[in-house]
Every structure is written in C-alpha cells, then in structure tokens.
Structure 1
Amino acid sequence: MFKHPFPTRWQFYEHGLIWIRQTSRSLRRQFNEYLMGAIKSRGPPAPLFITIFLGANDACLSLSGAMVPLEEYEEHIRHYLNTILDDPATQETKVILISPPPVNVPVPVGEPLLDNPDAAIILRSVASQSRGHRTWESKRTYAKKIVEIGKEYEAQTSRVAVLDLWYALTKSVCRIEGTTQDDAFYHLDIDEMLPGSGMPGAKPFDKGYFTDGLHFGDKAYEILGRELLDLALTKWPELKRENFPRRVRLRQLPVPVESTANMAFAQD
C-alpha cells in the first residue's frame, strides 16, 4: 500500500493516475481518454480499485451559483461509475466514491453578543447569508448527493462503496461533554453550530485539519487515509496485503500536477 496514511500528490503520481483542479465536468474527456484509455491499452489485470473524489470544486460558489449544478454533477458521477462498472476492461475493478470534504469558515465577530437574544438572531441571519457559510452548505449538499448515489449503487453491486468524508471530518471535531461524537454532531447540527460552518457559536476545526480553510492539513489527510483503508478492507477483505496476488504498477502518463487530487487509482 502507500507509504503514508493517505498518499500525497507525488505518491499518487508514482502509483497511479492523478488529475487536479478539475470539476466533474472538465474531467470527463480526460477520464474517457486517459484513465479508461490507459487501462485498455495496458490490458489485464485491471486496477484493483478506483477512487472517485470529486465535488470540492463543483460545489464552489460563483455569482450564478455552484460551479457545476448539482444535477449535472450527479450525471457526471453516474457516468464515471457506469463506465467503470460496465466496461469489459474493468469488470474486476472496485470503486470507492469519496464525498467532498467540508470547508473551515472563520467564526464571525460579535460572539459576546450571543447572550443578547435579539443580537443573536441578527448575527445568525447575517452569518447564514455570508459567502463562507453558503459555501459550507453547498459542500454539504454535494457530499449528501455522493452518499445518496453511493448507497444506491452499493445496493446493486458489491463493487461499489462510499465514504462520507464530509461527515467523518466534521464528526471528528464535534465535542459535547458526556456524549459520543455521533450524538455531539446531532445536537450541534440541530443548533446550527457544527464545526467549520462559520455560524455564531460554532467552533472552527482544530489546528492541523486545514492549511487555509480549504486545503487539507496533516490531520485531515490522516482521517481520510484511515477511513479509506478501513472502508476498503472491511468491504473487500481480499484487498488486504497478504491477499494481494502480486504488485502492479501503471505506467506514468503526461498529466500536469499542481495541487490536490480529485480522482486517482492505485494498485501498489
């Protein structure tokens, strides 16, 4: 497997194929030409699994709404899934859908005013309309869509699994004394105070989760790696190291590397 809990962009490039700064829309042609083309031209064995980690850019807000509308986003995701599941070259390949992660919106000023009911109402109204919180909500909506799609496909085939990374990251910093993290998430959600939401009274993510509110720090990568491996090895025990038939390396393709991975597959 990988050298670190979750592979960096360079490790992805060593072990598989990577696209960055893409949306589900802009990636579609590259998916068909590069990913599926590489698999077919190389021949068997097919990749053990493919992870699809898209939506962080799609859900970003422009003046007219999300960069890629939710309905179009869903159509692209289903295209990727159906292509992998139906193509003869990837009949043995498993797929993991990973939901878009949250963002870490700064806590608004005026926290002491929360003790004043009238002021608190105004603060919450202003915060809920802020670009930061609306982006946070958009990311959550796209994450829910991925989970919905993933659950649908999980019911149809054993080759698909879904990781709700949005929930895993957010839950990991939900703390209420005397409750579990799941219960803390539930209560904070009802009170509109989930970590990173930017709402009055909400806490930011702990240091180390994000480098700038958007891009992952070490803690977020650690959780992603742990959750991904736990899901894959629980769903498909045959992927455990001792059960690997042999090591396979995909040839490197000339795809530019700039920042965070959106889609990758690996077998090493």
Structure 2
Amino acid sequence: MSYRYFRRDSRLDRVTPNDYPRIYLFGDSLTERGFFPQDVGFGWQLQKYYADRVEVVNEGYSGQTSRSLRRQFNEYLMGAIKSRGPPAPLFITIFLGANDACLSMNGPMVPLQEYEEHIRHYLNTILDDPSTQETKVILISPPPVNVPVPIGEPLLDNPDAAIILRSVASQGRGHRTWESKRAYAKKIVEIGKEYETQTSRVAVLDLWYSITKSVCRIEGTTQDDAFYHLDIDEMLPGSGMPGAKPFDKGYFTDGLHFGEKASISLSFFLSLFSLFPPGQQD
C-alpha cells in the first residue's frame, strides 16, 4: 500500500516552546475539515478557545480509515510526541469510522471487528506509552449520514404500498450505509464506556446519537422520547426510510461532512472544552 498521502508539513514540524502544550485531533476528513473556519468546525473552535495557551494540531486525513492510518499514528503522530518531549499532550481525539463503515461490494471497507481492534490499538498505545502517561483520550463516534427521502412518500397512506416502499428502502444502499454508520458508532460507545470504567483518562462522545436526537421532534414529547418512538417506527432523521425526515439544511454540506449547524448549534463539540481544560490533568 502507498502512503504518499501522509503529509510531513508544518502541523508536525512546527517549533513551539517546550512548555507549550498540544492537543492532537486524529481522524479522517471530518477532523481535517473541522479546521475549516467557513464550517465553524470543532478544530477551528478549539484553536480559538485555546489561543495563546495550547497548540491544536490537525491530524485529520481525508479518505482514510482506522486501518490505513495505523502507520501515520505509530510512526508520525506518536513519533512527534516522543521526539518533542514533555509536556505530554493535554488530550488526543480519535474520530474514526465514517469511512470504515462505508459499504463496498463485500461489506464495510473495514469490518467491524477489525475496526474495534484498530481503535483499541490506538487507545492502548496512548494509555501505555511513557510519553503520553498524562494524556487523556476522547473517543468520538462517527456521525450519521443524511440519506434522501425515497420517492413515493404520498403512497404511505396505502398500507400495501407502504410495505413495499419500506422493504425497498431498507434494502437500498443509502439506508444500509446509514445502518452501518450506526453500528460503528455503537461500537465506539461500547469501547469508550468499557475504558471509562477502567480509567479517568478516557471519555467517549456519542456524536451519532447527539446529532440525530437534536432533530427528533414529536409534538408533546421530549427529544429523548421522540428519538425512541421514531426509532421504533424506523423513521429516524436521515435514515432514508419512508416517513423519515432528512436533516435540516445546514447540518451537512454533502450528506456526510458537517455544515455550520452541526458544528455550532450542538453543544456536543463545545463539551470538548470543559472535559479536559489545561491544568487539570490527573
């Protein structure tokens, strides 16, 4: 496999004072684009929040998976941390799975079991390496996708037609991709909660649930209850199932990457700021 996409640029080679701490955001294009000011991305927000106190390093690589980034992580990211020396990074985010869960002819690009193995490798490396003994890790689940509503919505009033529409939609590539993303998000949350019981150095942010719940609305119910009922009825936002609503304009730019609403309106990303503020390492 070629690794020509790995970039040795100013993000890793930047020289800063030895007492100037860092935060590394590690992931795919969702992390890379998280530094776009036009999207008001979470990386960009972190840079503003920590300005003149902490260097926030963009370690996002477009199109990559938990499998393809192992060399980048092992040799370059961890290598940069070791060669730089103390202080250890305040925290490292691991935000992977959006590409792993994408469907190929033979299933997901990276099978779920293999995905779990890679995530655990990243976690254990950070937790065990002497150079990151004071570093905390934030796991972020992959977000949902925004699958278009199928043609034929008016036919839902016809019970027989509704059954056919649901059957067709459930087998469509869009909905199956949505289901795959959900499975990978659940796996990250499962792994994160396991580690949370073992160490205070790991936290998990369930981005999939947070974004989906934020647009679940049923009159007279809370968002949690609305999510539950829409899930039972197979009508969660973005799922592409008949009767399901797409995400509002502004949540996604292309069905996958975040728009301004997903970055700003959700306090989810802002929780990164309060989880591990500077000076509060264990």
TM-score by structure 2 length?
A: 0.80
Does residue 146 (structure 1) correspond to residue 188 (structure 2)? The answer is: yes
Does residue 157 (structure 1) correspond to residue 177 (structure 2)? The answer is: no
| Residues 41 and 260, structure 2, Cα contact 8 Å, conserved in 1 | no
Give the equivalent residue in structure 2 for 1:28: 70
Does residue 50 (structure 1) correspond to residue 86 (structure 2)? The answer is: no
- Which segments of 5 or more consecutive residues in structure 2 lack a partner in the other structure? 1-22, 24-34, 49-54
Give the equivalent residue in structure 2 for 1:65: 107
Residue 186 and residue 231 in structure 1: after superposition, are their counterparts in 2 closer, same or farther (change >3 A)? farther
C-alpha offsets along residues 229-252 of structure 1, whole Å, 9 cap, x if unaligned?
A: 32552x44xx16xx579xxxxxxx
Picking from 27, 39, 42, the partner of 1:6 is 42
| Residues 169 and 223, structure 1, Cα contact 8 Å, conserved in 2 | no
CA distance, structure 2, for counterparts of residue 177 and residue 156 of structure 1: 40
C-alpha offsets along residues 57-88 of structure 1, whole Å, 9 cap, x if unaligned?
A: 00000011000000000000000000000000
Give the equivalent residue in structure 1 for 2:270: 229
SS of residue paired to 1:161:
strand
SS of residue paired to 1:16:
strand
Picking from 92, 96, 118, the partner of 2:134 is 92
Tell me how far 1:220 sits from its aligned partner.
1.0
Picking from 169, 178, 183, the partner of 1:136 is 178
Give 2:145's aligned amino acid.
V
Give the equivalent residue in structure 2 for 1:261: none
CA distance, structure 2, for counterparts of residue 223 and residue 151 of structure 1: 25
CA distance, structure 1, for counterparts of residue 74 and residue 106 of structure 2: 29
Give the equivalent residue in structure 1 for 2:57: 16
Alpha-carbon RMSD across the aligned residues, in angstroms, is 2.3
| Residues 88 and 131, structure 2, Cα contact 8 Å, conserved in 1 | yes
CA distance, structure 2, for counterparts of residue 89 and residue 17 of structure 1: 19
SS of residue paired to 1:169:
helix
Moved over 4 A (4+): 1-5
Give the equivalent residue in structure 2 for 1:263: none
CA distance, structure 2, for counterparts of residue 89 and residue 231 of structure 1: 22
Give 1:220's aligned amino acid.
A
Give the equivalent residue in structure 1 for 2:82: 40
SS of residue paired to 2:138:
strand
Tell me how far 1:167 sits from its aligned partner.
0.3
Does residue 166 (structure 1) correspond to residue 166 (structure 2)? The answer is: no
Does residue 79 (structure 1) correspond to residue 115 (structure 2)? The answer is: no
Give 1:216's aligned amino acid.
F
Give 1:172's aligned amino acid.
S
CA distance, structure 1, for counterparts of residue 264 and residue 71 of structure 2: 31
Tell me how far 1:221 sits from its aligned partner.
1.6
Tell me how far 1:116 sits from its aligned partner.
0.6
CA distance, structure 2, for counterparts of residue 15 and residue 112 of structure 1: 49
Aligned residues between the structures? 238
| Residues 263 and 269, structure 2, Cα contact 8 Å, conserved in 1 | no
CA distance, structure 2, for counterparts of residue 231 and residue 219 of structure 1: 17
SS of residue paired to 2:252:
coil
CA distance, structure 2, for counterparts of residue 7 and residue 213 of structure 1: 20
Give 1:113's aligned amino acid.
L
Tell me how far 1:17 sits from its aligned partner.
3.6
CA distance, structure 2, for counterparts of residue 157 and residue 100 of structure 1: 22
SS of residue paired to 2:42:
coil
C-alpha offsets along residues 135-184 of structure 1, whole Å, 9 cap, x if unaligned?
A: 00000000000000000000000000000000000000000001000000
CA distance, structure 2, for counterparts of residue 187 and residue 19 of structure 1: 36
